[in-house]
Amino acid sequence: MGELLIGDRYFYLLKDFDSKHLDFTKRTVDKYQQENHPDLYQVGSHQRKNPHHVWPLGPFMASVSKFILYDCLNILGPIDAYHFSIILSAIGLLIILFFFIENAGV
């Protein structure tokens, strides 16, 4: 779950345009202090020390889906909202696959 910490930091950096989110030694995401949200700062100690080991696209997309589905719409819980981006990616890949199969005449 530590990768989600990195994704959240990059998402809030682009959302707020505040470079404080790039300081991985400090708590900058206030959502982690709420009781119904997991404290990713606490569980992401390896990723905080080595943020360059995390590929940012997947965690960033997970943070975008969490922001929309949990923070804005409050439809899903935080963990479910993080993982919804995987479902959307799979659906997108299936659509692309069927498009190419249909156009290839297979």
Q: What is the pLDDT at residue 85?
A: 92
Higher pLDDT residue, 101 or 106? 101
* Domain map (residue ranges) of the chain: 2-104
Q: What is the pLDDT of residues 24-62, one digit of tens each?
A: 888 877 777 777 777 777 777 777 778 888 888 999 999
Q: Are 21 and 12 in contact (CB under 8 A)?
A: yes
Mean predicted lDDT score pLDDT of the chain: 86
Q: What is the pLDDT at residue 80?
A: 92
The CA-atom distances, in angstroms, between 50 and each of 2, 7, 44, 45 are: 10, 13, 10, 9
